[in-house]
Amino acid sequence: MGFNICFRVFFVIVVVNWKMNQLRETLSDYYSHISDYIRELSLVICPPYPYLDQCSKLTNQYNSRGISSLYLGAQNVGHQSSGAYTGEISAAMLKDFGVSYSLVGHMERRTIFQENTLIIKQKIICLQHAGIIPILCFGDDPTSDPLTTNTKAITETIKNTLDGLDKPSSIILAYEPGWAIGGDETPPREVLEEIFFSVRSTMTATLGQDMSRHVPLLYGGGVRENNIHRLLPCRELDGFLCGGVSLKSKTLSALLNKIVTHGSTQTKVFSPVKSG
């Protein structure tokens, strides 16, 4: 019996989603407090729209010091390139502020704003045309059982979203079980690994092995300093999407320290993702 060996590219990526939080006066101190960890991994900060300009300047300020792994992200994007869409922000506008990544399909967007796969796919296309890397969020319904996962529904969502994209490998996937968002509990490791392997297999079938091996897989939902040790050993896991833990620089720094310390003791070769 023979075995097919596939070497996959691994990453260490932490995506920070402030949601509808923070104020302008706190931003400079926030960046200063987390700067010690920026050299060790790729950090994407997604502020609310009004603070994109200030965060863009702070990102450029730190990158000018030789730190090249700090990126500006957005929490959302409009599904059209321009037009009469009151309150929407286009991908080109985000790019104009120096945005490199953008969340799409976050559970809160799907449930509160009723965004469906078609809308999310249109957003991905707009982002990729603007040269911004989409971070596609997917996961279970908030009312789902923490110990059971509808893997078939998840993989169908991934397949339908990725199929037909012009640049299918220029994307990041983030699994977020709805029940875990905003809490401090996470799925068992075996459940996460089952999901990640199923998603990776779906990507391979949809995109081909060469493309799928370059797509990072993140976990989001209840990520905390006190449970990160249970998540870090998960196979196929490349990083994290963080919400509540990222609202204070102190708690985010503690989390980043745990991730960096774990990464330095592993035999995997981690390589930060680069935009463009």
Catalytic residues: 106, 176
In sequence order, the 6+-apart residues with CB closer than 8 A to the CB of 22 are: 30, 47, 48, 51, 247
The β-bridge partners of 46 are 17
Instruction: Report the 10 Å Cβ neighbour count for 10.
Output: 17
- Name the nearest CA neighbour of 200 among 155, 133, 165: 155
**Residues 92, 101: Cα–Cα separation, whole Å:** 12
Residue with tokens 């896991």, as numbered in its chain = 237
**Residues 63, 93: Cα–Cα separation, whole Å:** 21
Tokens of 211: 């493309």
Dihedral angle computed from the Cα positions of residues 237, 239, 242 and 247, in that order, rounded to the nearest 10 degrees: 150
**Residues 42, 63: Cα–Cα separation, whole Å:** 12
Task: Give the chain's length.
Answer: 276
Q: How far is CA 80 from the centre of its chain?
A: 22
- Name the nearest CA neighbour of 147 among 199, 109, 185: 185
Residue with tokens 């991730």, as numbered in its chain = 259
